[in-house]
Structure 1
Amino acid sequence: MSPLHILISFFLPTFFLLSCSSIPIVLSKTTIQSQCLDDQRSALVQLQQDLYFSPHFTFSSKVELWDLKTDYCSWNGVTCDALGHVIGLDLNYKTLSGTFQSIFDLHHLQRLNFAGNNFNTTLFPYRFEGLPNLTHLNLSDSCFHGQIPMAISHLTRLVSLDLSNQDYCYRRNDVDYYPTLKVEKPNFNSLIKNLMFLKELYLDSVSISTQGTKWCEIISSSLPNLHVLSMSSCGLTGPLCSSFSTLHFLSKLNLDNNPISYLPPNFLGISSRLVSLSLRNCNLCGHFPTEVFLLPKMPKH
């Protein structure tokens, strides 16, 4: 055997172990791209096999979301980039249950929407850290419960995070008693401190009551780009902190059904940028700055 043949036979096994993200020297870019796209399709096919329809938490049938004979980039709810990588997956309100482990092989995924399904499980089995490019995550109203895992905090590119209203899901399925989604360990600070690009945070009905009164300062210091904050029925205690004035982009604030008690003296300065404000059932006392209703950006109803 010639020295050249020996060199090729030595490197080929190692070469074929390279991941799809590697840039090959010997094989063409088209060959590697085709292999990568096969991985994308395989993950979606596996997802369809792992899901089933579950109206009212009862097994109905295996799902047939897509025609597997067609191009996966044309499948309903699937968005691809120009190279065929799956960057969006939207399967909202389809009464789905089962598991979605296979999506964590879609490393280019940027948007994931599983809102309004019937998973009725915890989030701990899922490797969210495997989706480093995720910018939008919506798991609202899908019957998730238990602790929010630390893996969510690794999604440092998130722009929008919606884990809200898991109780709506249980009510929709006529369940009288339902477990809650909660933030304990990791605590609230650990969950959001790395999400500095976050613009929208929806945690309605997520239990954060163990965090005391520090939740307000944590948000102010960790999420400088926040535009929308919705945390109704979270067990938050007041008062609303003055440091909210540092959230220069905050335009929508919903803190309904939390015992906030009273507002800070600089609340008028905080609210001057708001276009939507909801503080229902917050046990507010003392003087309320009625000048808020005269702000030009606040809608008049």
Structure 2
Amino acid sequence: MKGWLLLLYFLLFFLFITCNSSTLPLSSCPHDQSFALTQFSNSFSIDCPFFNPWCTVSRAKTISWKEGTNCCLWDGVKCDTETRNVIALDLSCSCLVGPFPSNSTLFLLRHLRQLNLAGNDFRFSPMASQFGQLTSLTHLNIYGSLFQGNIPLEISHLSKLLSLNLSKNYELIFEGHVFESVVKNLTQLRHLLLTGVNMSSA
């Protein structure tokens, strides 16, 4: 009888621990990364009536971002389950409108592995060379986001890239020496999408 009571006690104790641990809040992302995200968001206005032919559905994801809350729970943000570093940012078709600053705090998110900015309106901003600082990236997508000018050589520094989508940015120019560096250095690249990019000098 005592054996059964002891077993029952341990079962109840285990259930108590399990139930309580499941209600514990998730660890927050590092404050500097949360700050970088909010500053990035504040760089743009939100205009969901803006028509982008490349978006089936647009949604203002960043409008729900609140300073002082856990950014790992923000719409479009994914964190590493152990370190809580921000590792993925999906802001595709998020109604972001405005020039893309070359000193954007986005480039402080050095743990980013996936970055999707497709279908926003960056007002024909140059594609900043600072994209090349995000050396952990495996996926970069700026499809149809109104970038212009020369694709920076620094893109060839992203040696871990598996997928690079620059399509539907009709004012982007892929110069020959940059294209050669990309082909030479991005040896893991499996998907390179360049529809609509000016390749005349490549």
How high is the TM-score relative to the length of structure 2?
0.72
Q: Is the 8 A contact 2:116 2:142 kept in 1?
A: yes
2:45 is matched with which residue: 52, 57, 68?
52
The 2-side partners of 1:126 and 1:45 are apart by 22
The aligned counterpart of 2:141 is 138
Q: Deviations over 1:3-50 (max 9, x none)?
A: xxxxxxxxxxxxxxxxxxxxxxxxxxxxxx99x811111111111211
The 2-side partners of 1:185 and 1:65 are apart by 42
The aligned counterpart of 2:179 is 188
Indicate whether 1:73 and 2:66 are aligned. no
The 2-side partners of 1:102 and 1:84 are apart by 18
The 2-side partners of 1:187 and 1:150 are apart by 5
The 2-side partners of 1:93 and 1:150 are apart by 26
The 2-side partners of 1:123 and 1:79 are apart by 27
The 2-side partners of 1:192 and 1:134 are apart by 16
In 2 relative to 1, CA 187–73 (structure 1 residues): closer, same or farther, beyond 3 Å? closer
Q: Is the 8 A contact 1:149 1:186 kept in 2?
A: no
Structure number with bigger Rg:
1
How far is 1:185 from its partner? 6.0
How far is 1:84 from its partner? 1.0
How far is 1:130 from its partner? 1.7
Unaligned regions of 5+ residues in structure 1, if any?
Answer: 1-32, 58-62, 168-179, 212-301
How many residue pairs match? The answer is 162
Q: Is the 8 A contact 2:169 2:196 kept in 1?
A: yes
SS at match of 2:63: coil
Q: Deviations over 1:164-207 (max 9, x none)?
A: 0124xxxxxxxxxxxx2111264421233200000111011111
How far is 1:94 from its partner? 1.8
The aligned counterpart of 1:163 is 166
The 2-side partners of 1:144 and 1:166 are apart by 6
SS at match of 1:166: coil
In 2 relative to 1, CA 53–186 (structure 1 residues): closer, same or farther, beyond 3 Å? farther
Q: Is the 8 A contact 2:139 2:161 kept in 1?
A: yes
The aligned counterpart of 2:84 is 84
The aligned counterpart of 2:132 is 129
How far is 1:126 from its partner? 4.5
Unaligned regions of 5+ residues in structure 2, if any?
Answer: 1-26, 53-61
How far is 1:70 from its partner? 2.6
How far is 1:56 from its partner? 5.9
The 2-side partners of 1:126 and 1:95 are apart by 23
Indicate whether 1:39 and 2:32 are aligned. yes
The 1-side partners of 2:43 and 2:91 are apart by 14
SS at match of 1:191: helix
How far is 1:72 from its partner? 0.6
Q: Deviations over 1:127-161 (max 9, x none)?
A: 12221100000000111111101111110000000
Indicate whether 1:111 and 2:110 are aligned. no
The 2-side partners of 1:80 and 1:187 are apart by 32
The aligned counterpart of 1:172 is none
In 2 relative to 1, CA 151–96 (structure 1 residues): closer, same or farther, beyond 3 Å? same
Residue type of the partner of 1:95? C
The aligned counterpart of 1:210 is 201
